[in-house]
């Protein structure tokens, strides 16, 4: 099941529902998509937050803190994914996580 989203404008949509989760759609522009290194960077960043992080690719979803889960989500270049963050630091998390997905390269990271 797909969560409800109020608008589809990439990078801009923020929906805050009753439970306090934040969702945003992001277009992955990395020319290799969310490959192993980019996924590693993402999951390491997600680990820093206490909120739960879920990424939806169509009907499939992955735990944003689990590298293998993210790889098996098979996110190709120019795919729009939905990021859902739920927890006390959700507002901070959504920005920094979506920045990683929207960045042109995910290879240079030091985390």
Partner 1 sequence: MEIRHHGIAVSPGVAIGPAFVIDTEGVRITHQTVPPEQAAAEVTRLRRAFEIAATEARDNRQRITALHGPAIGNIFAAQGSVFEDPGFREQIEALVRSQNYSAEYAVSRVIREFVRRLEESALRSVAEQHRAEVRRRAKDFIDIERQIMLLLQGENTEPFGELTEPVIVLATDLLPSETADFSPRTVHAFATESGGATSHTAILAGALEIPAVVGLGRFLSDVSGGDIVIVDGEEGILIINPDESTLARYDEKRTVERSRADRYDSLRDKPSATSDGTPIRLLGNIELAGEAVHCLERGAEGVGLYRTEFLYLNKTSDPTEEEQYEAYKTVVTTLGPNRPVVIRTLDLGADKFSSVTGAVGVEKNPFLGLRSVRLCLRKLDLFKTQLRAILRVALLGDVRVMFPMISTVDELRQCKTLLNEVKEDLEDGGIPFKRELSVGTMVEVPSAALVADILAREVDFFSIGTNDLIQYTLAADRNNENVAHLYNPTDPAVLRLIKRVVEAADKEQIEVNVCGEMSGEPLYVPLLVGLGLRQLSVTPRKVPEIKRVIRQLRVDEARRLADQVLEMDTARQVGSFLRDQLRRILPEAAD
Catalytic (active-site) positions: 35
- Residues facing residue 98 across a β-bridge: none
Reference 35, options 81, 61, 73; nearest CA is: 73
> Interacting stretch for partner 1, rule CB under 8 A, among 9-17, 20-28, 63-71, 89-97?
63-71
Q: Does the footprint of partner 1 cover residue 61 (CB under 8 A)? A: no
Handedness of CA 68, 65, 45, 4 (dihedral sign): positive
Q: Does the footprint of partner 1 cover residue 72 (CB under 8 A)? A: yes
> Interacting stretch for partner 1, rule CB under 8 A, among 9-17, 18-26, 41-49, 86-94?
41-49
Residues that bind partner 1 (CB under 8 A): 32-33, 35-37, 39-41, 43-44, 66-68, 71-72, 74, 76-77, 105, 107-110
């Amino acid at each position: 099941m797909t969560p409800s989203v109020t608008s589809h404008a990439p990078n801009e949509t923020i929906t805050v529902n009753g439970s306090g989760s934040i969702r945003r759609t992001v277009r992955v522009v990395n020319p290799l998509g969310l490959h192993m290194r980019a996924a590693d960077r993402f999951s390491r960043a997600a680990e820093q937050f206490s909120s739960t992080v879920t990424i939806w690719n169509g009907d499939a979803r992955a735990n944003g803190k689990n590298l293998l889960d993210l790889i098996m989500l098979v996110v190709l270049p120019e795919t729009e994914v939905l990021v859902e963050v739920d927890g006390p630091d959700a507002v901070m998390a959504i920005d920094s996580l979506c920045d990683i997905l929207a960045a042109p390269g995910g290879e240079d990271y030091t985390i």
